[in-house]
Amino acid sequence: MLGLTKKDFTLFVVVIVMVALAPFLLNPFPQGSSLAQMFNAGYPDLMQRFVIFGILVIGFNILFGLTGYLSFGHAAFLGVGSYSAVWMFKLLGMNVIPGILLSMVVAGIFALAIGYVSLRRSGIYFSILTLAFAQMSYNLAYSVLGNPSSNFNLTNGETGLQLLLTDPRILGQSTTPDGSLPVTNFFGIAMRDSYELRLGDWLFTFNAGYYLCGIIMLISFYISIRIFRSPFGMMLRAVKSNQQRMNYTGLNTKPYTLAAFVISGVYAGLAGGLLSSMDPLAGAERMHWTASGEIVIMAILGGVGTLIGPILGAGFNEYFKNILSKINDSVLHQWLGFLPDGIEDFLVTIIHPFVGKGWHLTLGLLFMIVIIFLPGGLVEGGKRLGGMITGRTRRSAKAEAKQRNHPAE
Amino acid sequence: MDQIILQFLNGLDKGSAYALIALGLTLIFGTLGVVNFAHGALFMIGAFCAVTVQRILTLSTVVEDPTKTDFLGNPAKISTPYVESWFGPEMGAALIDWSVPLAIVFAIPIMVALGFIMERGLIKHFYKRPHADQILVTFGLAIVLQEVIKAFYGANPIPTGAPEVFRGSFDFGVLIGFDPNAIIYPYWRMVYFAFAAVIIGAVFAFLQFTTFGMVVRAGMADRETVGLLGINIDRRFTIMFGIAAAVAGLAGVMYAPINSPNYHMGMDFLVLSFVVVVVGGMGSLPGAVLAGFLLGILEAFASMNEVKAIFPGIDQIIIYVVAIIIILTRPRGLMGRKGVMEE
């Protein structure tokens, strides 16, 4: 159906259901309980991040997962997309569609330029080139292009680009009648509008912005499945397994890799545009190379080269970031209260650096563990677990892996 | 003219740091073929060795002095560092004053040990994996090291002073026949440059004039053959990893007075050091040193107001622009060997 095989279609339907029901699925605990404060993730801001970063990593996966080119500068496209969308809100109006379209176009052009240059090298050089371009964009956005005193203030430097009451907004209104900033909307539906459903003790929030992002994420996901299963996707995989051999057969791989690079750049720009649509503020720190690193981390955590991996990775990363940063000493004391005092204090001291402000450390360790022991990420982990449960022996799995093995480069 | 010399000197100290980090990176890449994203973290840990030594030396006993009161009326507290009570006030004060150079002594074993642990414990298992995996695992390690330091020392920069004699600046212009006050240059930066020159010289001499260095160079050229000759090349490469870590660490120790150490200083330097390595030529030691100084000086010149008036923002991107041009036109870098990582 929809041009998908049965297996892919099932996967797609599962993702649709998950996205549609996320406000239920992510709010398993009744409102106001202590567990809810910690583990409930069904509030609009976080759900929007889940799907937006899902889009970003899906795009990254088209490049890294299929062609094996490791870009360390993908955040540049995210940042460019964010800036473009905010400019559209400043100049044209608060409807999100033109902003999102412009962010995709600008990021696409940007990716075409960077990709054209970077793809002349492969391997480490490619990573370093993309890293250099991204840092260059970051430095420019931070300094010259964002000098508030100059006439050419594209990014507003350190403060970040934000909406002003004096912006023209030719198709909309500069200010609302009560003198405040207008809000981003989709043909009249404000992005921050929510419908709240109360069932007993549970409170579920259905946010307009989340569903817009969710639908766009589903479209992106569908396109990525089609790319994965297309002859084009096959060509990209061939580039990954042995580019040299491809070249020897007389085939020019550059257009294919460049197309993949631009597609993934457009995805990143789209994600940036959506971030700005949800919260019309764009800062240079979105382009910093640690942000690029985080994209890589999400992709690896989920599982590179798989369809569902990027969504899992993005969700996992955002969810745990959210939980870990909420845990503090008093929460720990509460959890470990059943233990004798000495042991409790000791454990709290041990765990303290890993939670709260130290969530980076935990995610970094987790990332390393995944890279070392589980290069296929969560998807491979799930497969292994499934294998254990269904009792498939290790040997048969190994034999299968051997069959799948690509020829050495 | 004096402006040019001043910018040249300004470029030297940053160039020294670039050159030292790039030297370590190149040593690791040339011997083990690994791109070490955690090298910046080693630089940062070196700087925190200096912080730690300073903290240890200033550990104090606090005695309340009832005869004096502070402005709140509480008894004034007199803190005496242990070293002052052990070695006498003069000797103790001198030790504290010289804590940064002293830290070198402590940093060498720590950094070498850290290098051994990194190589044997982690990177060893990644030789047969793709380059992307090596980049990723060292990147993960860099995040972890950085966060560990942040957990212990906090997120704010920690000022770490140079010895009293080297604080302040001197009039470099007078020495070479310019007007007074034309070229003012801080002492410590001069020291840093000299230090970097000594370290670089020592590494090169070690590789050039010792049997160990000769074997390592042979291994860099053709690892397999050296292995077939019955030499345990892996062990020597591990030792070289330790040395590379020590070079990065020492660069960090001495950099502490120039820039107060903070937990992300390593990452900031790392990106630029990669660029330096690429410009110099992957695997070429003289190339790394040359490119380090060249780019440092180039950056200093680009930050002159006269240049910035013509190309605004050029100081922020000059290094990257140079790197992009070099990678595209001469992928083996300034002094890279033909055929090394050229595709």
Q: How far apart are CA B27 and CA B284, in angstroms?
A: 8
Q: Using one digit for the tens of pLDDT, what is the confidence trace for B203-224?
A: 999 999 999 999 988 888 888 8
Q: How far is A364 from chain B (nearest CA, A)?
A: 5
For residue B336, give both structure tokens. Answer: 């890279």
Q: B137, A70: Cβ pair inside 8 Å?
A: no
Q: How far is A113 from chain B (nearest CA, A)?
A: 13
CA dihedral defined by A352, A353, A354, A358, rounded to 10 degrees? 120
For chain A, how are helix, strand and coil distributed in percent, rounded to 5? 70, 5, 25
Amino acid at A263: I
Q: Is residue A372 a contact partner of residue B155, using CB atoms and an 8 Å limit?
A: no
* Mean pLDDT on B147-171: 84
* Mean pLDDT on B111-123: 92
Q: A371, B143: Cβ pair inside 8 Å?
A: no
Q: How far apart are CA B52 and CA B291, in angstroms?
A: 32
Helices A254-278 & A44-67, crossing angle to 10 degrees? 170
The vertex-A32 CA angle with A28 and A36, nearest 5°, equals 35
Q: How far apart are CA A368 and CA B266, in angstroms?
A: 19
Q: Is residue A80 a contact partner of residue A275, using CB atoms and an 8 Å limit?
A: no
Q: How far apart are CA B284 and CA A343, in angstroms?
A: 54
Q: How far apart are CA A315 and CA A126, in angstroms?
A: 28
| pLDDT given for residue A392 in this prediction | 62
Predicted TM-score (pTM) of the model is: 0.87
For residue B173, give both structure tokens. Answer: 């212009």
The vertex-A249 CA angle with A248 and A251, nearest 5°, equals 95
| pLDDT given for residue B95 in this prediction | 82
Residue A226 neighbours by CB under 8 Å, 6+ apart: A3, A4
The interface predicted TM-score (ipTM) is 0.83
For residue A358, give both structure tokens. Answer: 């130290």
CB atoms within 10 A of CB B46: 31
Mean pLDDT, consecutive 10-residue stretches, chain A (409 aa), reads 85 92 84 76 86 94 92 92 92 89 95 91 85 88 79 80 82 79 84 83 86 94 93 92 86 92 96 92 86 90 90 90 82 78 82 80 89 87 85 58 52
Q: Using one digit for the tens of pLDDT, what is the confidence trace for B291-331?
A: 999 999 988 888 887 777 777 778 778 888 888 888 778 87
Q: How long, in residues, is chain A?
A: 409
Residue A86 neighbours by CB under 8 Å, 6+ apart: A99, A161, A162, A163, A276, A280, A281, A282
Q: How far apart are CA A137 and CA A111, in angstroms?
A: 12
Q: Using one digit for the tens of pLDDT, what is the confidence trace for A85-134?
A: 999 988 888 888 999 999 999 999 999 999 998 998 888 888 888 988 89
Q: How far apart are CA B266 and CA B248, in angstroms?
A: 10
For residue A362, give both structure tokens. Answer: 């935990």
Closest-CA residue of B relative to A292 is B139
* β-pair type (A202-207, A281-282): unpaired
> Is B128 a residue whose pLDDT tops 80?
yes
* Backbone phi and psi for residue A381, each to the nearest 5 degrees, phi listed first: -60, -45
Looking at residue B177, what DSSP letter applies?
T
Torsion sign across C-alpha atoms A306, A130, A118, A260: positive
Task: Report chain B residues whose CB lies below 8 A from the CB of A305.
Answer: none
For residue A146, give both structure tokens. Answer: 């964002």
Nearest to B136 by CA among B123, B121, B119, B146: B123
- Tell me the pLDDT band of B76, cut-offs 50, 70 and 90: confident
For residue A376, give both structure tokens. Answer: 């296929």
Nearest to B47 by CA among B195, B188, B252, B247: B252
Q: Does B282 touch chain A (CB under 8 A)?
A: yes
Q: B275, A128: Cβ pair inside 8 Å?
A: yes
Q: How far apart are CA A162 and CA A175, in angstroms?
A: 14
With a pLDDT cut of 70, the percent of chain B lying above it is 97
Q: Is residue A281 a contact partner of residue A160, using CB atoms and an 8 Å limit?
A: yes
Task: Report chain A residues whose CB lies below 8 A from the CB of B134.
Answer: none
| pLDDT given for residue A409 in this prediction | 42
Torsion sign across C-alpha atoms A18, A24, A29, A31: positive
Q: Using one digit for the tens of pLDDT, what is the confidence trace for B79-112?
A: 777 777 787 777 788 888 888 888 999 999 999 9
| pLDDT given for residue B109 in this prediction | 94
Q: Is residue B77 a contact partner of residue B64, using CB atoms and an 8 Å limit?
A: yes
**Statement: B2-57+106-329 belongs to CATH 1.10.3470:** yes
Beta bridge partners of B60: B81
Task: Report chain A residues whose CB lies below 8 A from the CB of B131.
Answer: 123-124
Q: Does B328 touch chain A (CB under 8 A)?
A: yes
Task: Report chain B residues whose CB lies below 8 A from the CB of A72.
Answer: 135
Mutate which: A122, A131, A136, A409, vs B, most B CBs within 10 A: A136
| pLDDT given for residue A408 in this prediction | 45
Domain boundaries, chain B: 2-57+106-329
Residue B115 neighbours by CB under 8 Å, 6+ apart: B42, B241, B242, B243, B244, B245, B246
Q: How far apart are CA B136 and CA B142, in angstroms?
A: 10
Task: Report chain A residues whose CB lies below 8 A from the CB of B282.
Answer: 124
Q: Using one digit for the tens of pLDDT, what is the confidence trace for B49-64?
A: 999 998 888 887 777 7
Q: A123, B271: Cβ pair inside 8 Å?
A: no
More confident: B172 or B320:
B320
| pLDDT given for residue A122 in this prediction | 81
Task: Report chain A residues whose CB lies below 8 A from the CB of B324.
Answer: 117, 129, 132-133
CA terminus-to-terminus distance, chain A: 36
> What is the CA B222 to chain-centroid distance, rounded?
29
| pLDDT given for residue B339 in this prediction | 59
Q: Catalogue all structural domains in chain A, each as residue range(s) with its CATH number.
A: 6-287 (1.10.3470)
* β-pair type (B75-81, B60-69): antiparallel
b/e per residue A253-268 (b: at least 16 CB within 10 A): beebbbbbbbbbbbbb
Closest-CA residue of A relative to B148 is A361
| pLDDT given for residue A402 in this prediction | 58
Mutate which: B26, B123, B135, vs A, most A CBs within 10 A: B135
Strand blocks (E) in A280-331: 281-282
| pLDDT given for residue A403 in this prediction | 57
> Is B192 a residue whose pLDDT tops 70?
yes
| pLDDT given for residue A56 in this prediction | 95
Helices B99-121 & B233-255, crossing angle to 10 degrees? 150
* Backbone phi and psi for residue A203, each to the nearest 5 degrees, phi listed first: -125, 120
